Structure 1
Amino acid sequence: MPLLTGRQAQQNLIEEFNLSTAKDEKPIMRAEDEFELLKTLWESPEVGLQHERLQVQLALMIQLAGITGNRPGALRRLQYKDLKIALLPDRAGGDWPRLVMDFTFQHTKRYLSAKDPNTFPVPDIPWEPCLLLCPQTMLLSLLFADDAFAVPGLKLADLLNLRIPPSKRELLIPIKLSKAELPLFQRTEHTTNSVKMLCKAVTENWLCERLQLLGQITGFDLPVKPYCFRWGHSEALDSSSVYIINNYISDSQRNLILQHSSLAVFQLNYLSQYITQDTQAAYRGLEPQTAIIRAASGMSRSIDPQRPRSLTDRQVATVDRHLEVVLAQRVRDRLAERARARHTTITRSKGTTAHETYQQAQRAYLRTKREVRKAMMKQVRIRYRVEQPVADILHQLKGRSTQQSEPTNKGEAEKTLSSERQRVLAALLTFAPSELTDDHGQRAEAMNAVTALCKRQESPVRKACRMKEGCSDHTPEAHLHATICAEDEKIEYDSFPVQCQPTQCIFCIGDEELSPAKRAKSFRNRDGLKRHFIRKHLQYHAARQRIKCPHPKCHNEWLEHADHLRNHAATVHGSLT
């Protein structure tokens, strides 16, 4: 029997198992698509990040991913030493200097051979129509929040009014050497008292999960990935001679920007199979319809806020009755009974073979259930993609207005945002003024709002119940959160007496990064407070170790252990945990 080559063996496997050879779609994330993504990031309460600084970091990562087209590994590992901020003379003859930021990406791809680091200059845009796409706003806000500038006492208003000294061609704005190794995009860590920022870069998994969730909330059909921005950036470079006058980028420059060894890499792996040019106009000798072709080949055309993002109660029940899930659950329950028969409880069986076997079965059960849920969610989205256009057309044929099907809860969603987030959203979505002084004032307001937001820890809104088919979108928790946000201004920071309410959390009262209303929140009953006290705070404290009382009136009084703290909270502060 003759030996088969690798390609022949691959072809035989494809024919035998009826495998698909189609390439994955390469969705292009253009600037207008990025605008929709960033708009959702700031106005949707469903994003659910642990700290508001992460909102700013994610916005800047999205902006830089589109502007530079870098891989996610190089993007997330940016450090303060990779930044250079300077003022340059305005070559257009303006009176005010221009702010230019240089980003040097050191941590490039190492496969086959090390790639040389690239430096991208990003100048500010005078009278920018909307600051939502402005990376200078986000970066300067992070720098001021971290007190990263080497100039003592430098304020934002001072920075915007700086001039270049005579006989010089630039004015550098240095960053502290002590901040040089600090990552620009930092990850968070839960502590007993709150959520704190670490001196470690965010992970690539975190970035992928956040972008995928953000794309689902926006309503995109295809998943949003970090490489969507790289594909969009490369497509913009390839089409620069078509869309942008006097900004043609050659093939050699594109290879340098994308760090490709040859043009073949771009043609084989980056070009979208969806043609982005008006071939009809080229064939018939007509003026190309650039705008409609650009809209047709972008991701925004698939935005549908009503696209299903979670399973209904009925579908979840179907998952629980799935054969594979039921079998995995039976195996887990049988092993749990064995562990209880030998050791009374599963907790007491820790460290034994029975407990390890039970844990493996538990992980297998959860993994099976997760895979079945994912497969069902995929089928639900496919069915929606097929059936919804028919329903929309029938809706119009019956003479009904198309405006009736538009979502009506946008205003309610904005009410659930904190006052700081609403201030940022208003500043970023304000159109550019006509006067230069007003432009500086608008930028200063946006940066001040974002800087203040970086210091705020805002817990995500939890759903009170699963969304049922045909029920209202306004959950009691959303109304409660709206009420809390509306009362933020009514609560003073010094209005926390030693004796608090029985269902108030002393950790939340002592966390100055929370909003005043969140600090003063009273839980519905003692059980709710106890669950919160353990899940959000005590589970991150090592057993039998000393702990400080977080209440602001105790001035960090040391207690012997967690039980001592709970007794202290009840006797001194009246908080019953």
Structure 2
Amino acid sequence: MSSISSGELHGGVTAKRLKSLGEQIGYPESVTRYWLRRLVLNAVDGFGSEEVRNQVAGHLDSRTYRTNYQDQRINLDVASLVSGHDGEDALIRKLNDVGTNADPNANVALPLETLEQIAALPDVVSLRVEQRRLAELLRRKYGSISRALASDDSLTTYLGVKRAHRTRKEFCKARMRSQLRRDFFARKNAALIEAQLDSKDVRRTLRTEQNSSTPSIPERAALASLIGAKDMRSVSMRAHRAAAIQAMEDLCCRVELRRKAEKPGNNPLGVSAENLTRSNQERSISMKCHCLQCLFCLGDERLNWKDRTRIFSQQYTLGRHVEHHINAIKAGAKMNCPHLICMAQGLIVNNVEHLKNHACREHGIRLQTY
């Protein structure tokens, strides 16, 4: 939802978008379509007659309008916002004025323990087991799920179970996030009341709860554990400083960004520095690779060295990338292992499944597709 079209939003799309925006700005209550109704009435308030306002509100009694709408002004035209050209960030900035008690720190990431509890729920486990069983059945039948026929009932059942498994997990996560938000505002309100009773600085109390970042990849977690609350300037922390620098370098290597095309340098021989060092770089490759490297890209000499040795952020991203390579291979065809050492030795695998087993056993890479 990086941008919003100028077309009118209908039904559940409006409700979902308003709810999402309300959660991101940290509003304690859900933003619903009831807000739109009140805001339309705010737009006609003071301009139309009482009969017109009653007609817009859908009420015949003027007291109903005055009691339920006239005294509940929000002073923000959400209806025009969601149908305009503003992006999501602009909407969030404007919606920040909706409530004085909105706090983005309420969006606390689910801890690892909670995610493990959700994954261990009986209904989630049963769906996951059934999904794996159907996936294995399709792999034995077609060699890969992506090669399965669309008319196969097993594929339809697998996709339905996969969708149900993902939906159930997201439902449990949303429920836990809602509970964390309620707990956040309960603690915040209690702290504000206590500060007011003790005549303390309320603004300082508002900053007591900060949104802590949860490390999502090993390098970031290692860097956080090395830095911690220690003084890195002391002489005794020299080893920690070196390890922290190495962790930062590893972390930077994990960032996936679109690289700009490199401009050719003024090399009279027409030989780039990358080509001059390619042989040395290839000799530095070992049999065991990083578990999130692409084995096919590693052996593709058409790519530059950075693209050949890049490390993906997670196994799912690697799997979606590897799927394009595997789809280009004919079923049952023999091939060379793309790894540089195996290619130099002339190692040939019998089929895709043989390549997957070889890559996992010899190179430490799971060529798993999704």
TM-score bracket for the superposition, by shorter chain length: 0.3 to 0.5
Q: Which has the higher helix share?
A: 2
More strand by share: 1
Of the two structures, which has the highest relative contact order with CA contacts closer than 8 Å and spacing of 6 or more? 1
Q: TM-score of the superposition, structure 2-length normalised?
A: 0.45
Structure 1-normalised TM-score?
0.31
